[in-house]
C-alpha cells in the first residue's frame, strides 16, 4: 500500500468550520470539510481512500481536490469554475410580445409550432422549438395541453342568446311527469 500524501493545511480547524457555516454552495462545503479532515490527520497524513470514506466523496475527486489545494492554494481551491448562467435568446421586448400573444383569447394559436412560426416571422430570428417551449413553460406557465380556443369570429351576443334560450327549449322537450302512485 502506498504512503499517504502529507499535505499541510495552513488554516485552522475552527477557521475552516466557520467557513463551512458561511459557504453558500454545497460544493464549497464539501471542499472545506475535506480540508478539515486533512488538518485533523496532521503530520501523519491520510490516504485518499480514507478521506473519501470520511467525506463520502469519490476517491478520484478527493485526489484532484487535494492536488488543487496543494498547488494553487485555498482561493483557487474554493472556486468552482462553472458559471451556470447563459443569457436568454429572447429579449425583454420579445418576452412581452410572446406573453401578449399567449394570453390573447382571440389569437387563434393552435400550439407551439404556430407560435414558433409567428416568432420567426415577426422577429426574423431562428429559434429552436424546445427553447421556445421551455421558455413559455418557465415564464408563462403555459402547457401543450390546453382547452380548445374559442373561434376567432364568434359573436358574443349570439352566445348569450343561445345560453338563455337553450335551457328553455330543452325544458320544452322534456316529457311531463305523471303522478303515478305505487300500489
What pLDDT score does 147 carry? 60
CA angle 123, 129, 130 (to 5 degrees): 125
- Torsion angle of C-alpha atoms 140, 144, 149, 152, degrees rounded to 10: 70
Residues 134, 3: Cα–Cα separation, whole Å: 52
pLDDT band of residue 11 (cuts 50, 70, 90) is confident
What pLDDT score does 5 carry? 77
Residues 111, 94: Cα–Cα separation, whole Å: 18
**Would you state the cell numbers that stand for residue 166, as one nine-digit string?**
337553450
Bigger pLDDT: 42 or 182? 42
- 44-53, 120-129, 133-142, 157-166: the lowest-pLDDT one: 157-166
Bigger pLDDT: 168 or 28? 28
**Would you state the cell numbers that stand for residue 64, as one nine-digit string?**
484532484
In the chain, where the domains are located: 13-78, 92-140
Residue-level length of the chain: 183
Give pTM, 2 decimals: 0.46
Bigger pLDDT: 164 or 140? 140
Percent of the chain predicted with pLDDT > 90: 25
- HSE (CB half, 13 Å, CA atoms) of 91? 5
Amino acid at each position: 500500500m502506498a504512503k499517504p500524501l502529507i499535505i499541510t493545511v495552513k488554516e485552522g480547524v475552527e477557521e475552516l468550520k466557520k467557513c463551512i457555516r458561511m459557504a453558500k454552495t454545497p460544493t464549497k462545503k464539501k471542499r472545506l470539510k475535506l480540508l478539515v479532515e486533512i488538518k485533523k490527520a496532521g503530520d501523519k497524513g491520510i490516504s485518499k481512500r480514507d478521506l473519501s470514506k470520511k467525506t463520502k466523496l469519490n476517491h478520484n475527486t478527493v485526489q484532484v481536490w487535494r492536488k488543487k489545494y496543494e498547488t494553487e492554494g485555498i482561493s483557487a481551491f474554493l472556486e468552482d469554475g462553472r458559471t451556470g448562467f447563459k443569457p436568454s435568446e429572447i429579449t425583454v421586448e420579445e418576452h412581452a410580445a410572446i406573453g401578449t400573444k399567449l394570453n390573447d383569447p382571440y389569437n387563434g394559436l393552435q400550439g407551439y409550432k404556430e407560435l414558433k412560426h409567428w416568432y420567426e416571422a415577426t422577429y426574423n430570428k431562428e429559434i429552436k422549438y424546445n427553447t421556445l417551449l421551455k421558455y413559455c413553460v418557465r415564464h408563462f406557465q403555459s402547457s401543450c395541453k390546453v382547452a380548445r380556443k374559442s373561434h376567432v369570429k364568434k359573436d358574443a351576443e349570439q352566445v348569450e342568446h343561445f345560453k338563455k334560450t337553450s335551457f328553455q327549449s330543452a325544458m320544452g322537450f322534456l316529457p311531463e311527469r305523471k303522478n303515478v302512485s305505487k300500489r
